Amino acid sequence: MVGIKSYGAYIPYYRLERAEIARVWGGFAMNPGEKAVANGDEDSLTMAVEAAFDCMKGMDAKESDGLFFASTTSPYREKQCATIIAAVLDMRNDIRTADFGDCLRAGTAALSSAVDAVKAGTAKSIVVAATDCRLGYPYSQMEHALGDGAAALLIADSDPIATIDDCYSVSDEITDVWRRDEDHFVRMWEDRWVITHGYSKNVEQAATAIMKKNGLGAKDLAKAVVYGPDPRSHEALMRRLGFAPAQIQDTLFAKVGNTGAASALMMLVAALEEARAGDRILLASYGDGADAFLLTVTKAIDKIRDRRGVKSYLASKAALPSYGKYLVARNLVELSPGQGIVGRGSATVMWRTRDWVLGCHASKCRKCGLVTYPVQRVCYRCLSKDDYDEISLSQKKGKVFTFSLDNLASVGINPPIVQTVVHFEEGARFYCMMTDCDPRQVKVDMPVEMTLRRFHEFGDFHNYFWKCRPIREGGE
């Protein structure tokens, strides 16, 4: 029985009030609320990593047979992100990896491909991670609308928390919302046409068809999880499909914004957080057509209540104090170059050390038990050579051993940089920056967790590495 075995989500720590955008540009915020903004060291890949870790909590990623990455904002034009994420999750290498992109349906396209692969017996389970951080033109309604976030689902052939009963897709050639290969910001044709002949028409066709095919009416569904580009269009479509307010899953527009390829799956995670055994759920996404799915929640749903998911990450947040900080967070302004950071990128070095760079591997000495990061061939304490096991610190907790708030290190990148030495419960020490924090609140012994971030661009490729952050317990 193919279904969702686990879920996870990620929402960046920082939020921007839409009123602040309106204040800067004049005018008013057509929709109230706030949007989630990825920090300057985050991108679609790092957000997908967070959601995937949340999804795989308490599970062994080595048992999974694949990973699909879905985004319209992949950090690479040419190079797979799924392999990077698989390395971060410490997965096996005899697995199926693929990137889905270029369309807001990328998330559900990855989902249906995973469902098909598992159904066909090619894989027993596949992690699907959908993520986006699209940019609207400054001073546009799109700037108000778009937010950043990610969702992840583990699709498997056993123990589902929700079975995936049917899929239905519509393909429609329409240039309504797009970015050319050289475009930085999302473009859009006149909104009235985009909504009526793009969004509403396609989603209505897919949703109606899958319900009819399965002999279901609107009243038979516990939740309708339907993508919506904005609250007004979403509401109008849901009314036409015949759903009552209690059945309609919130689009997260007021709290996160439109997260593109991740949107429908983030809504699904939010729905599953509240779901009960027996609930039937309609899931539908939009983008050059529409994908629709029917799901049935099982009793196993109660086993997956410890995910941070949408609920917890929504509760853990801080307001960006100004539009200027938003520009910095999204790398939309060029800051004074200041003091250069000395370093050279090397693809071979990063490749050779990827187990500890991406997998966060420490060595545990078999003789004296000392745990050290990164992997040390000769033990600091007992000097035994090449006699260790590797353990990953990526999901371990630590405490700040010492720190500094460094203004010199941060010229040109939003001072101050919080530099820390983290002491892990396992005994290892990790020297890294702290991100997503209020520098004034940093203290010795403060509990922290690790998070993969984009570090720099040496070698003209993205160098990802670990930072620590205050534990985002949120609503847990």
Partner 1 sequence: MESIKDKVAIVGMGCSKFGELWDKGQDDIIIEAAYEAYEDAGIEPRDIQAAWVGTLNGMAGVTLSEPLKLNRIPVTRVENFCATGHEALRNACFAVACGMYDIALALGVEKLKDTGVGGLPVGRGLHPVLESRRTAPGTFAFIATRYFYTYGLSPEEGKRTIGKISVKSHHNGSLNPKAHFRRDVTLEQVISAPIIAWPLGLFDCCPTTDGAACAIIVRAKEARRFREDPVYIKGIGLSTNQMLPHFEPDFDWTGFEMNREAARQAYEQAGVKNPRREISMAEVHDCFSITELINYEDLGFSPKGRAKEDIDAGTFTLEGELPIQPDGGLKSFGHPIGASGLRMVYECYKQLQGKAQLPERQLKNVKLALSHTLGGPPQVACVTIVGT
Q: Which residues bind partner 1 (CB under 8 A)?
A: 338-346, 349-350, 353, 357, 370-374, 380-381, 401-410, 416-417, 419, 421, 427-433, 444, 455-456, 458-459, 463-465
Shortest Cβ distance from residue 410 to partner 1 (Å)? 7
| C-beta separation of 204 from 227 below 8 A | no
Beta strands (DSSP E) in 347-396 are 361-365, 371-372, 388-392
Which amino acid is residue 398, in one-letter code? Answer: G
Three-state DSSP state, 449: strand
Distance between CA atoms of 151 and 132, rounded to whole angstroms? 10
Of 244 and 444, the one with the shorter C-beta distance to partner 1 is 444
Q: Where are the alpha helices (DSSP H) in 26-168?
A: 44-55, 81-88, 106-119, 141-145
Of 121 and 337, the one with the shorter C-beta distance to partner 1 is 337
Shortest Cβ distance from residue 145 to partner 1 (Å)? 34
Shortest Cβ distance from residue 53 to partner 1 (Å)? 19
Distance between CA atoms of 474 and 329, rounded to whole angstroms? 21
Of 30 and 341, the one with the shorter C-beta distance to partner 1 is 341
Distance between CA atoms of 355 and 94, rounded to whole angstroms? 16
DSSP 8-state code for residue 214: T
Shortest Cβ distance from residue 411 to partner 1 (Å)? 8
Of 109 and 433, the one with the shorter C-beta distance to partner 1 is 433
Of 214 and 384, the one with the shorter C-beta distance to partner 1 is 384
Distance between CA atoms of 296 and 205, rounded to whole angstroms? 21
Closest by alpha carbon to 295, among 165, 464, 188, 127?
A: 165
| C-beta separation of 257 from 145 below 8 A | yes
Shortest Cβ distance from residue 281 to partner 1 (Å)? 42
Shortest Cβ distance from residue 55 to partner 1 (Å)? 26
Helix axes 44-55 and 81-88, enclosed angle (nearest 10): 40
Shortest Cβ distance from residue 378 to partner 1 (Å)? 11
DSSP 282-322: EEEEESSEEEEEEEEE-GGGGG-----HHHHHHHS-EE-S-
Shortest Cβ distance from residue 351 to partner 1 (Å)? 11
Of 199 and 373, the one with the shorter C-beta distance to partner 1 is 373
Of 214 and 419, the one with the shorter C-beta distance to partner 1 is 419
Of 240 and 352, the one with the shorter C-beta distance to partner 1 is 352
